[in-house]
Amino acid sequence: MQGIVLQQIFQLIAQVVLGSDVFERILASVKRWADREIAAHEKREGVLNELEVIGLNLSQSAARFGIELAVQWLKKEGPAK
């Protein structure tokens, strides 16, 4: 139950700060990079590069904030069912 509440909080924050469409794109990108066996900073740089390629116009701080929200979202989501 607590995980669901935290996900709802993350979603609300993302919608307010980034916009829900932007967060969905960040989340999808983070999911694509999550299982790669590389260092966390390499995953983050990969996601940032991907966001740039798909044309998301975000400041570095907004992009990094969105990535961190997505990472926390995935941690609360748990393993794929």
Distance of alpha carbon 47 from alpha carbon 38, whole angstroms: 13
Identify the residue whose tokens are 């701080």: 61
Cα–Cα nearest to 29, from 1, 69, 70: 70
Q: What is the mean pLDDT of each run of 10 residues along the chain (81 residues)?
A: 72 80 91 94 94 85 89 76 43
The pLDDT of residue 55 is 84
pTM, whole model, 2 decimals? 0.78
- Residues 40, 50, 15: CA angle, nearest 5 degrees: 85
Distance of alpha carbon 78 from alpha carbon 7, whole angstroms: 11
Domain extents in the chain = 2-77
The pLDDT of residue 46 is 95
